[in-house]
Structure 1
Amino acid sequence: MTDTNDVRIERTFDAPIDLIWAMWTEADHFANWYGPMGASIPTAEMDVSVGGRRHIGMEVETPNGAMRMFFVGEYLEIEPKTRLVYTESMADADGNEMTAEQMGMPSGTPMETSVVVELEELGAQTRMVMTHRGVPADSPGGQGWAMAIDKMEARLADLGS
């Protein structure tokens, strides 16, 4: 179930399910598409196992210089090639989760969100539904996801899928 507090993107790619799964689970692939346009991913550490941790570093050029953001999380569900669920929280460069107070938000504000990726094989195509729970669809995070999925599609084209 999604609501306005969730980003939900559905896309059908002209690529096999194995490759779409790799885009989400292999650090080298992930680092090549994740983030909004203009972002780079200098850190992509991903232990894709239930209970495994992830630490992602993103750098975005802004008119005021480079902005760095870090995210950490834990893999909660893994059904190879069909379903991936992980948590995501803002973190510092060392991978320590940031509190609401550190983020300038009221104490007690939930800081952990979750990402659900569902894949379905459609012959030579793959249908993907990605839901980021706890991130409003009309937020900068929602816009960033839309750009990231466009970058994934471009990356797939570059790979000749």
Structure 2
Amino acid sequence: MAQTAEYEIIRTFDAPRELVYAAWTEPERFSRWFGPRTLATPVGRIVLDAWPGGVWRATLVGEEGFEVTLNGMYREVAEPERLVFTTGDPDNPGDAPASVVTLSLAEVDGVTEMRFHQFGVNTDREHAEQARAGWIEFFERLAEHVEEACRTDRRAERVEEVCRTDC
């Protein structure tokens, strides 16, 4: 019998829900936060076909030629509030760990609340805790990305407003 494990991470981002969703579905944004700080996720090594039945794939690269590819399939896509996707093939995992991720995004008082739920098969508690810790690091990077993007957008809006009134 396959071992199963699950967990949920709830995180709030000081950014609009549409921007957080875009960070999950646009390769240029995804490459800025997906993975640990010690690895890069080159935009050219990312596929995000965000539609039910579409695939996602990201190759993380490190020093001395290290590479690891993570992938799965989208099961549900409801822009900008929900994504359900797999890692590996939970319907036919063989001996490999696989999981289903449910991502829910809600706007609450001008910020975005993200609920990330992962249910894994062929996953023992230790592997699940390592995965959870990894996601928490990824979400720190996601927060940095979306919050910097908001600051940049606000500066651009102020410049545009000044130009409209003073130019």
TM-score normalised to the size of structure 2? 0.74
Counterpart residue type for residue 127 of structure 1: E
Residues in 2 aligned to 1:28 and 1:155: alpha-carbon distance in whole angstroms: 11
Pairwise CA distance, 1:110:
4.7
Q: Percent identity?
A: 28
Tell me which amino acid in the other structure corresponds to 2:119: R
Once residues 149 and 137 of structure 2 are traced to their aligned partners in structure 1, the CA distance between those partners, rounded to angstroms, is: 18
Q: Is 1:159 the counterpart of 2:149 in the alignment?
A: yes
What do residues 51-107 of structure 1 show as CA deviations (whole Å, max 9, x unaligned)?
Answer: 11112111234xxx44211022111001111110011129xxxxxxxx97xxxxxxx
Larger radius of gyration: 2
Alignment of 1:116-155 (within 5 A): 116-134=102-120, 136-139=127-130, 141-155=131-145
Gaps of 5+ in 2: 152-167
Aligned length: 139
Tell me which stretches of 4 or more aligned residues in structure 1 moved more than 3 Å. none
Counterparts in 2 of 1:58-77, with a 5 A limit? Answer: 58-61=60-63, 65-77=64-76
**Could you list the runs of 5+ residues in structure 1 that have no partner in the other structure?**
91-98, 101-107
For residues 62 and 88 of structure 2, the distance between their equivalents in structure 1, rounded to whole angstroms, comes to 18
Which structure dedicates a bigger proportion of its chain to strand? 1
Q: TM-score, normalised by structure 1?
A: 0.77
- Which protein is richer in helix relative to its size? 2
